[in-house]
Structure 1
Amino acid sequence: MSNHVTRREFLNRSVSVAGAATVAGAAVQTVAAAESPQPASVQSAPTQPSPPAASADDAAPSAAPAEKVPCGQLGKAKISRLMLGGNLVSGFMHARDLRYVNRLFRAYMTEEKIFETFRIAEEHGINTVFETGAAFVAKYNERFQGQMQFIPHIKVEIGQGEQSLKDHIKQQVDLGAVALYVWGVAADNLVKAGRADEIVRAVELAKKHDLPVGVGSHSLLVPIEC
């Protein structure tokens, strides 16, 4: 029997043996890997939630208290030297012929905005509203434990009966007034009409309620006459 192997046969046999060896080697590695002990899996420690980052407000020192408006004594009441005018509460604005201003203001100055105004005012020591807005002052004080005070006006008209004037003054006092004053528009009209005596009568009737009483005006003729 001849042992002669041609070159083609040698190459074919070599390729077959090499392929079988590769498959066998891979199988051995797979079995070895399966039989070798596996290291215990490392479980990561549960992640702890990071503490919340301090905000700028938390880190910053507390704001200095607002500087307070100085007060003066008016009768039994302590009144801030700066007061809130009732126009900015009731919405009766001095707008000349700009008829839309009052509607625009009332749309902006809601009840909550009025209460916000009172709160900011109190923070700065302003403790009194004068002229109009008694209902808002009372509601604010009740709802927010405020200390806002109120000085209403007295509306005096020419030919007004004494009982009518007395009732009107008492009504204003019952609003929680800490003082009273004759409304500036009324005083202007009375002096212009030569009826300053009506102002005197209103002041004397109001003084019976043991409250400070003043006279408002827009015209210099009123303080000159009084």
Structure 2
Amino acid sequence: MTSAKRLKSYSMPQTIVLVLLRMVIGWHFLYEGVAKIFTPGWSSASYLDLSRWILQDFFASIVANPVTLQIVDLLNIGGLVFIGLALLFGLFTRTAAILAMLLLALYYIAHPPFVGMGFGFPTEGNYLVVDKNLVEFFALAVVAIFPTSSLPGFKRIAALFTRKRNGQAGGAEMNPTAETARPSDPGRREVLKSLATLPAFGGFVYAVMKKRGWESYERTHLEGVDAVTSATIKSFDYTSLKELNGQLPKGRIGDLELSRMILGGNLIGGWAHARDLIYVAKLVKSYHSKEKIFETFLLAEKCGINCFLTNPILCQVIDEYWRRQIGSIKFISDCAYKGDVITGIKMSIDSGAHSCYVQGGIADSLVSEGKIDLIAQSLDLIRKSGLPAGIGAHALATVKACVDAGLQPDYWLKTLHQTNYWSASPTEQHDNIWCTEPDATIEHMQALPQPWIAFKVLAAGAIQPTVGFQYAFQNGADFICVGMYDFQIVDDVNIALQALAASEGRLRPWRA
């Protein structure tokens, strides 16, 4: 049965729904392709690399080969655009629908919404087995199975002109009464019906232009300047892995090999140190969904950062990252669990921490309270588990007191940053300064034989990385711990590589 004859059995509502279904799906596919064209540096690399189901090795092999990845990206974009245009205009409808189903099947296989696989990319909903890709897959099955070639579309126009060339009356097949009308009239009517998709395409073009911020000269220049302009938004481009200048070198603390830059956990945990901006902590927590944390970890590993330093409160997140085999980033715990360092140590060891240390704020308090013996007890507990044990400090007096007491940690975590940024000036400290004696710290740490992990090297975002990284490495730090958003990682690694290269003549020898 031809599609035209089969359409006779459709009611008007059924016909309208079939046309709209085809056109809406076409619109979606077309814009997905167009959006990728207009996104600078877009690549499917991250999406494919985060796949953890049956074709993960195949997807990983694509990412590993830049030429293959570029071909796949072009095919993906070209396929989306072709499918979108075909469905929107009614050309090669069945072929386009089948190709779209194959494409959606690959998307689904790459990231199926199964239990235990909800990672990698944030979604706009909550899915279990069925997601939007699967729903659209079956919608396309309807488009492929039920004929639409005789519905409004360019294929119908081609059929009309073919019948005219063959001497057939235009539209007779669709309209049994056409024999009584003037031969040319039905053809015109059918052509006009078939051009019904053109307004939809015009609407698509207009919507894309609005979306991309292509405004007229008059509107741009006569309506004033908004506080948030499209130019401001468009200027925010992430630095991609393609722009990475190399892998970070590593050092060793005992048997533990660490990258020279360690990913700090304050931003991921919501400890933003935003001075008196009370909303920032909540904003940071909202940004760092579990999926975003996993994506940040994986990106850090691809840049050569092999360690994450944080609070035991994030042990479950790290364990899930390991358990799902997304990556293998190492974990150093500050053991600051509700102020109880012993409980924090036990929890961290049970969760697979690669090293533990007494958090700087806790160590400062214990020293000021005359409880250095608890720091010594903590070091012993950590070492009994075969892990490197460290001592953290904000105050230089804490380091001096521990040294005077004969404590010998496997490494130190001591703050280091300049104090010439403007928010460091108030005499009353209010979450605004973490190293009040940088020169004395540099001098004292030079004499200590243990490795030194410098943290707060950017004074919680108040100092430029180009300044803070160089200052830390040049003045004796063996490692730096830096809190970073995902979009900062590539840039920061490149800056760290430059800082390391410029620090060869430093006074303090490398201790790790």
Please give the range of the TM-score, normalised by the shorter of the 2 chains. Answer: 0.5 to 0.7
1:140 alignment partner AA: Y
2:353 pairs, out of 166, 177, 181, with: 177
Scaled by the length of structure 2, the TM-score of the pair is 0.30
2:372 alignment partner AA: A
Q: Aligned pair count?
A: 166
2:270 pairs, out of 73, 83, 91, with: 91
2:284 pairs, out of 91, 102, 105, with: 105
Q: CA deviation at 1:95?
A: 2.1
Tell me what 1:141 maps to.
322
Structure-2 change in CA distance of 1:63 and 1:109 (3 Å): closer
* 1:37-48 correspondence to structure 2 within 5 Å: none
* Structure 2 Cα separation of the partners of residues 119 and 157 of structure 1: 28
Q: Does the residue aligned with 1:137 lie in a helix, a strand or coil?
A: helix
Q: Deviations over 1:89-147 (max 9, x none)?
A: 21122123322111111122222221121111111110111122322222223335301
Q: Does the residue aligned with 1:187 lie in a helix, a strand or coil?
A: helix
Structure-2 change in CA distance of 1:66 and 1:189 (3 Å): same
Q: CA deviation at 1:63?
A: 4.7
Tell me what 1:152 maps to.
333
* Structure 2 Cα separation of the partners of residues 120 and 157 of structure 1: 30
Q: Deviations over 1:66-99 (max 9, x none)?
A: 5111111223322111111111221122123322
1:81 pairs, out of 260, 271, 293, with: 260
Check whether the contact 1:180–1:211 (CA below 8 A) recurs between aligned residues.
yes
Q: CA deviation at 1:65?
A: 6.8
Q: CA deviation at 1:213?
A: 0.1
Could you list the runs of 5+ residues in structure 1 that have no partner in the other structure?
1-54
Tell me what 2:380 maps to.
204
2:382 alignment partner AA: A
Check whether the contact 2:361–2:393 (CA below 8 A) recurs between aligned residues.
yes
* Structure 2 Cα separation of the partners of residues 219 and 135 of structure 1: 31
Q: Does the residue aligned with 1:154 lie in a helix, a strand or coil?
A: coil
1:169 alignment partner AA: I
* Structure 1 Cα separation of the partners of residues 289 and 338 of structure 2: 32
* Structure 2 Cα separation of the partners of residues 205 and 97 of structure 1: 38
* Structure 2 Cα separation of the partners of residues 212 and 129 of structure 1: 15
* Structure 2 Cα separation of the partners of residues 123 and 182 of structure 1: 29
2:320 alignment partner AA: K
Structure number with greater Rg is 1
Structure-2 change in CA distance of 1:205 and 1:142 (3 Å): closer
Greater shift in the superposed pair: 71-80 or 204-213 = 71-80
* 1:8-27 correspondence to structure 2 within 5 Å: none
2:326 alignment partner AA: Q
Q: Deviations over 1:176-203 (max 9, x none)?
A: 1111100111001111222222211211
**Are 1:120 and 2:299 matched, yes or no?**
yes
Check whether the contact 1:129–1:151 (CA below 8 A) recurs between aligned residues.
yes
Structure-2 change in CA distance of 1:114 and 1:156 (3 Å): closer
Check whether the contact 1:156–1:202 (CA below 8 A) recurs between aligned residues.
no
Check whether the contact 2:298–2:326 (CA below 8 A) recurs between aligned residues.
no
* Structure 2 Cα separation of the partners of residues 65 and 100 of structure 1: 33
Could you list the runs of 5+ residues in structure 2 that have no partner in the other structure?
1-36, 42-69, 74-240, 403-512
**Are 1:68 and 2:247 matched, yes or no?**
yes
* Structure 2 Cα separation of the partners of residues 125 and 113 of structure 1: 19
* Structure 1 Cα separation of the partners of residues 260 and 242 of structure 2: 24
* Structure 1 Cα separation of the partners of residues 72 and 321 of structure 2: 33
Q: Does the residue aligned with 1:216 lie in a helix, a strand or coil?
A: strand
Check whether the contact 1:156–1:183 (CA below 8 A) recurs between aligned residues.
no
Q: Does the residue aligned with 1:129 lie in a helix, a strand or coil?
A: strand
1:189 pairs, out of 356, 365, 370, with: 365
RMSD, matched Cα = 3.0
Check whether the contact 2:268–2:285 (CA below 8 A) recurs between aligned residues.
no
Q: Which structure exhibits the higher relative contact order, with contacts defined as CA atoms closer than 8 Å and separated by 6 or more residues?
A: 1
Instruction: Identify the structure with the greater helix proportion.
Output: 2
Q: Deviations over 1:31-62 (max 9, x none)?
A: xxxxxxxxxxxxxxxxxxxxxxxx994499x9
